[in-house]
Every structure is written in C-alpha cells, then in structure tokens.
Amino acid sequence: MRTTLSLLSAVALAWSGATSAATPCGTTVAENPDTGAVFGHLLYAEAAAADLAAAPPGFAGPGCEVLHRDAAAALDRLLAAARADPSVGIALYGVSCFRSVSRQSGIYCSRGRSLAALAARARTSAPPGHSEHATGYTIDFGDRRRRSCEVGACFADTAAGRWLLANAPTFGFEMSFPAGNGQGVAWEPWHWRWVGTSIIPDGALTARKVFGPARRRYPSDRVQPDLPPLPPAPVPIFAPAPLPDLDR
C-alpha cells in the first residue's frame, strides 16, 4: 500500500510535465502550465447565482437543488421522455447538479490532504476550482430503484443508466468521463454535461465554450456535433416528355 501511495505521489508531482503548482486543500501539487489542470481536471469557474435555476420538482434532491438555467429546458424534455418510457418512468433523480467551489473543497479534501491522498482522490472527484459541477451545466443522475448504485459503476446497468446512454445525447447531454478517457478520471456513467444538440439552442454556444478545452483535448464518441446534420437534398423529379400526337 505504501508503495502504491509513493507512486501516486510521484505521478502527482510530474503530472503532464507540469512545472507550476496549485494548492488545493492547502497542499502544493503540480499544475499543468498550459491548461491549469490539476491531476487531469481542467479549470472551471463557478456559475453566477443569476444564471442558476431551480431543479425540476420530483427530480431535485439535497445535492441537486439548482442547475444552470440554460440546461433546465433540456433537462425537462429529457425527464418527460424518460417518464414516457415504461422501463424508466420516474426512476431518474438528481444526485448532484450545481456545486459551489466551497462545497467541492469540502468533498475533495475530506479524505486526507497528503499529496498521495489527493492524487488518489482525483480519480473520482475533482479538486476545488476544477469541477464541472461548478458550471451548473453538469448533472449526476441516479436511479431511484437502485440507490445502491448511486455514483457507482453499476449505475450503467440500471434501467435509468441504460436509457441515458441511449437517449441523453438527443437532449444535448454528453458523458464527461467515458471509460478509458484521456483525463485519467474513473469511468462515470452517471455524470453528464449539457452542451446542446448543436450550437443553435439558446445558451449552447456558451456551454460549449466552457467545455471547449475538455472536448478538444479529450474527445469521445459521446461528444455532440457543433451543427445539426443537414437534411437530405431533395431528389429532383423529372416529368416525362409528352409523346408526340401522331394523329395530327
């Protein structure tokens, strides 16, 4: 165990060839000088209070009281579609939506402040100032019928998890941390960020600017295109030429 922690410490100090430093939880750690990333987690600013809206009744929970107002309409449509599917119904609920930097600090720093502890923690939780939840665009979903799988890999095997994988992109959500992602973050099938189905929906362009560095550096098959596909070109219909009137 000590050997593993020592290796984690070494990795932490040399993360991505970083030469600058950050101090999450009061501990000095390596920071990528180009991106500001810490342990693979990019920088995210906290959403302004004016940009937040209440989470839908029946979906909201203690950790999901508000989210970014630009994502709210898409979430409403997603939940309506889920309710219409007998395999899901009202199973979806919000485990976590907007999370302040202060709240993130309490979560991330709660399991030790040594370099090794913070490096290990970063596999499943972002350092304060580096969490997508601070933007308000990101939601951790849960399945009411399988609460034991809350923020766990087994969420992917729940009816809600399978439905999200198949349908969330239709409503402009993409999985932030798919299996084998380049950020080195653990697979999180419950964690989805809203970027719109294209740049056209209100607020989608802003959301895409927020997540632009992550989407460019760590693309996945769940990333939404910038523009909707063009409709197929109409097939020209040619009327046959009239036959000559041979009786004239």
Q: Is position 80 within any domain?
A: yes
Quote the pLDDT of residue 140. Answer: 98
Q: Where are the alpha helices (DSSP H) in the chain?
A: 2-13, 69-83, 101-108, 115-121, 159-167, 204-210, 212-217
Q: Strand 20-22 vs strand 52-54: parallel, antiparallel, or unpaired? A: unpaired
pLDDT band at 10 (very low <50, low <70, confident <90, very high): very low
Summarize the confidence of residues 152-167 as an average pLDDT.
97
Tell me, yes or no, if the pTM score tops 0.75: yes
Rounded to whole angstroms, how far apart are CA atoms 54 and 66?
A: 4
Rounded to whole angstroms, how far apart are CA atoms 223 and 195?
A: 9
Quote the pLDDT of residue 165. Answer: 97
Query: Looking at the predicted structure, is the pLDDT value of residue 207 above 80?
Result: yes
Q: Is position 6 within any domain?
A: no
CA dihedral 180, 185, 186, 192 (to 10 degrees): -90
Quote the pLDDT of residue 230. Answer: 53
Percent of the chain with pLDDT over 70: 81
Q: Strand 29-31 vs strand 173-175: parallel, antiparallel, or unpaired? A: unpaired
Number of domains in the chain: 1
Summarize the confidence of residues 26-44 as an average pLDDT.
93
Query: Looking at the predicted structure, is the pLDDT value of residue 238 above 80?
Result: no
| End-to-end Cα spacing for the chain | 102
Query: Looking at the predicted structure, is the pLDDT value of residue 46 above 60?
Result: yes
Quote the pLDDT of residue 18. Answer: 45
Query: Looking at the predicted structure, is the pLDDT value of residue 8 above 80?
Result: no
Q: What is the pLDDT of residues 57-76, one digit of tens each?
A: 999 999 999 999 999 999 99
Q: Is position 5 within any domain?
A: no
In the predicted model, what is the mean pLDDT of the chain?
A: 87
How far from chain centre, in Å, is Cα 227? 19
Q: Is position 138 within any domain?
A: yes
Quote the pLDDT of residue 228. Answer: 60
Residue 163 is part of which domain span?
40-217
Rounded to whole angstroms, how far apart are CA atoms 47 and 180?
A: 29
Q: How many helices (H) and strands (E) does the chain have?
A: 7, 8
Query: How far are the Cα atoms of 13, 39, 224 from residue 6, in angstroms, in the given order?
Result: 11, 15, 39
pLDDT band at 219 (very low <50, low <70, confident <90, very high): confident
Q: What is the pLDDT of residues 173-203, one digit of tens each?
A: 999 999 999 999 999 999 999 999 999 999 9
CATH number of the domain residue 202 falls in:
3.30.1380.10
Q: Is position 176 within any domain?
A: yes
Q: Is position 20 within any domain?
A: no
Rounded to whole angstroms, how far apart are CA atoms 37 and 122?
A: 11
Q: Is position 126 within any domain?
A: yes
Q: What is the pLDDT of residues 80-133, one digit of tens each?
A: 999 999 999 999 999 999 999 999 999 999 989 999 999 999 999 999 999 999
Q: Is position 197 within any domain?
A: yes
